[in-house]
Amino acid sequence: MKKMQLSEEQYWLFASNGSTHELQEVMQLSIRNQLKLEHIDAVAYSGANDNTLIVLTCTSSDIQQGMNLLYATKSTAHIQLEQFIRTNVTAGNSSITGYGIGGALGLYYGATMDGLTGVVFDAPGISKLLSQTELDNLSICNIIGTNSLLPTIGRHPNNVRFADLPEKTEHKFAFDSAGNVRLGKPSELFRNMEKISSFDLGHNRKVRTLVQLISGIKDQNLSIAVDDDVYFYYALHQLDMNGIVQAIPDILNHYSFVLHQILTDWRVSVQEMLNNVADRQAEPLVQHSVLVSQHITEFTKSFYEDIESLMTIVMLQSMNRHIGLEKLESTMSKFAAELEERMIDTTNQLSQMLETIIMKKLEIRDNRLRNSSVQSKSIVEKK
């Protein structure tokens, strides 16, 4: 049986609800079934050879509503949509398309059921919704415009292609004479968001929390979790270059305060241990000091990773990389130098205290040996 052959440009015309009536006539397609749900429409077109084209369209302009629809995979809407698609799929002869959230739903069903091929456009990443087996099953391509914002949300499977910008601004993508997309490159924003998505879970949460705090929107009544993709996307775009530069001294002061507190607590505990039966506290003193030094090292490493990540995010996400960038880079150089200086100073303080403790331990040992020798000599003399 001959399969339906659509060019990428034809897929786009269907996905964007463009001139589908003309295409229907040219390709001898007719509407087989339709489904209208809250925020999503689905149309199944039937071809002459019993081929099927399913077009998914998100009817909401609210990104959060669309993402909620996408992520709620156990919802009634998902169940109805899946049933609609399964009913209209002809094994090996069915394709699917969609734009934005509609495209993401097309990717999802292309991964979770067999018999679907196709092309979608500007879909956000859906990797966290799928198992590895489902990701391996996905053969549908996601074409992304180089200046598109929605696809920067979420983590993508490896089926992404980037479309060059067309010469005529009223068109979303550039296609060649054969109807295939003209290849382009991902934007700085997309590369940056992809990097964030590749962080391990712990680091990702730290970065998201930092972005949330510095964006200054933590007190707003947004009923969205810190790890919500849309919330993070929104928070990231609240960041301001000048605001970040001005916030750096506060970040440094916070670092210094925590470091100072660790050292202060350590000094107090060391002094208490030295004042209490010193000859029996030498080993615990050294052990305690080693633990504190490890604590400082771990805190500093974590701090450096968070700040480095945040600065990378800020620099890459700026839609105009020239605004404030030189000032930020200059400030960051001074910031890094000051951090290094403070860390060296802290390390020196810790080393000096450890040296004092070790010398104290040696003094205790020498005194013990000396006392033991005196006692032995006294015993011999008495004999």
Residue 102: what residue type? G
- Closest by CA position to 229, among listed 66, 67, 62: 67
C-alpha–C-alpha distance, residues 58 and 18, integer Å = 15
Nearest to 152 by CA among 84, 214, 104: 104
Task: Put the strands of the sheet holding 94-99 in their side by side order.
Answer: 30-37, 40-46, 52-58, 94-99, 116-121, 141-145, 160-163
| 35: β partners | 42
Rounded distance between C-alpha atoms, residue 171 and residue 165, angstroms: 8
Q: Which two tokens stand for residue 12?
A: 């786009």
The angle subtended at Cα 256 by Cα 251 and Cα 261, nearest 5°, is 130
CB-CB contact of 71 with 28 (8 Å):
no
Residue 113 CA to residue 249 CA, distance in Å, equals 53
Question: 3-state DSSP helix/strand/coil percent for the chain, to nearest 5?
Answer: 60, 10, 30
Q: Which helix (H) or strand (E) holds 208?
A: helix 201-215
Nearest-CA neighbor of 63 among 190, 154, 193, 199?
A: 154
Nearest residue to 8 via CA among 196, 209, 127, 144: 144
pLDDT at 336: 63
> Identity (one letter) of the amino acid at 143?
I
| CA distances (Å), origin 146, targets 15, 121, 155, 173, 316 | 18, 12, 17, 9, 15
pLDDT digits (tens, 9 = 90+) for 69-109: 898 889 999 999 999 999 988 755 889 999 999 999 999 99
The DSSP-derived string for 330-354 is: HHHHHHHHHHHHHHHHHHHHHHHHH
- pLDDT tens, per residue, the chain with 383 residues: 455 678 899 899 899 875 566 667 767 788 889 999 999 999 998 877 778 899 999 998 888 788 888 988 899 999 999 999 999 887 558 899 999 999 999 999 999 998 889 999 999 999 889 998 999 889 899 999 887 888 988 888 878 999 987 766 566 788 888 989 999 888 877 877 787 777 777 777 777 777 777 666 544 544 445 457 777 777 776 666 666 666 666 777 777 788 778 878 887 887 777 676 554 556 777 777 778 777 777 777 777 666 666 665 665 555 444 445 555 556 656 666 666 676 677 667 666 766 666 666 656 555 655 555 545 445 445 44
- By the 8 A CB rule, do 106 and 120 touch? yes
> What's the token pair of residue 348?
């020196």
Torsion of CA 142, 143, 144, 145, to 10 degrees: -170
CA gyration radius, the chain: 32
57 neighbors 44 (Cβ within 8 angstroms): no
In 3D space, the residue among 81, 84, 117, 124 whose CA is nearest the CA of residue 101 turns out to be: 124
Let me know: does 217 contact 236? Beta carbons within 8 Å. Answer: no
**Overall residue count recorded for the chain in this entry:** 383
Rounded to 5°, the CA angle 111-88-25 comes to 110
Q: What is the DSSP letter of 164?
A: P
pTM given for the model: 0.65
